[in-house]
Amino acid sequence: MEKKGAILILSGPSGCGKSTLLKNVYKNISDYYFSISTTTREPRDGEKDGVDYFFVSKNEFEEDIKNGQFLEWAEVHGNYYGTSLKPIKKALNKGKLVIFDIDVQGHEIVRKKLNDLVTSVFITTPSLKILEQRLNNRDTDSNAVISKRLDNARLEIKSFQKYDYFIVNDDLEKASSELVSIANITRIKSKLYDNESIINNWIH
């Protein structure tokens, strides 16, 4: 049976290890498309346009909002972040697993629009204290930014039960194995298949 296009959403606080876990997922699954966000913030050192993000001006972003070109978008820390619909539709039509790394607010919006295609996972550290340690150890953000990230994390954890799965990233190997299993199973959800054609083909 052909694999169906599906959506896997990952959310969790910055510093919980989503990027590291995703690297292990990529090694173990085929036919995926990682949904790259579009943002109005400045690129950080080493970030490339079209690889890490699509970097655009505020005017350009606001024009695309007006034209309904975003699946979801939000304003975070004074900058816009959003997900363009065009590459997603293309990937789904090719039967790919479209992977999102978006926040709680974005998850709710995607759920409303594409619920039948979505499987979602909330990933976090064992505690807020450990999250703070990881953010400090990364040494990439100012104290003010870290403080904002921790405030966001306190709010986001309250929404974890809105997700299909919950992973505490304490043991990297275990968490990776759990996420790979979820990624594989998203492609065989019954809701992805056309009801009538499956029944007719099975009976006849």
Residue 144 lies in a domain: yes
pLDDT at 86 over 90: no
Question: Is a pLDDT exceeding 80 seen at residue 8?
Answer: yes
- Residue 106 resides in a domain: yes
**Mean pLDDT for the stretch of residues 61-82:** 90
Helices in the chain by DSSP H: which ranges?
Answer: 18-28, 58-66, 85-93, 104-114, 128-138, 143-156, 172-185, 195-203
Best CA proximity match to 120, nearest among 81, 89, 161, 170: 161
Residue 180 lies in a domain: yes
- Asked if residue 127 is part of any domain, the answer here is yes
Beta pairing partners, 7: 98, 118
| Residue 56 forms part of a structural domain | no
pLDDT score, position 198: 73
CATH number, domain at 118? 3.40.50.300
Q: Report the chain's mean pLDDT, rounded to a whole number.
A: 89
Domain assignment present for residue 134? The answer is yes
What is the per-residue pLDDT for 80? 95
**Cβ neighbours of residue 162 under 8 Å, at least 6 residues apart?**
104, 107, 108, 111, 120
pTM of the model: 0.80
Tell me the residue range of the domain where 25 lies: 6-35+95-203
Query: For position 1, what pLDDT does the model report?
Result: 62
pLDDT in tens, 111-141: 988 888 999 999 999 999 999 998 888 878 8
Answer whether 203's CB lies under 8 Å from 15's CB. no
Q: Considering the domain boundaries, does residue 135 fall inside one? A: yes
Tokens of 29: 């699954």
- Comparing 94 with 201, the larger pLDDT belongs to 94
How many structural domains are present in the chain?
A: 1
Q: How many residues are given for the chain?
A: 204
Q: Quick check: is 41 in a domain?
A: no
Region 54-81: mean pLDDT is 91
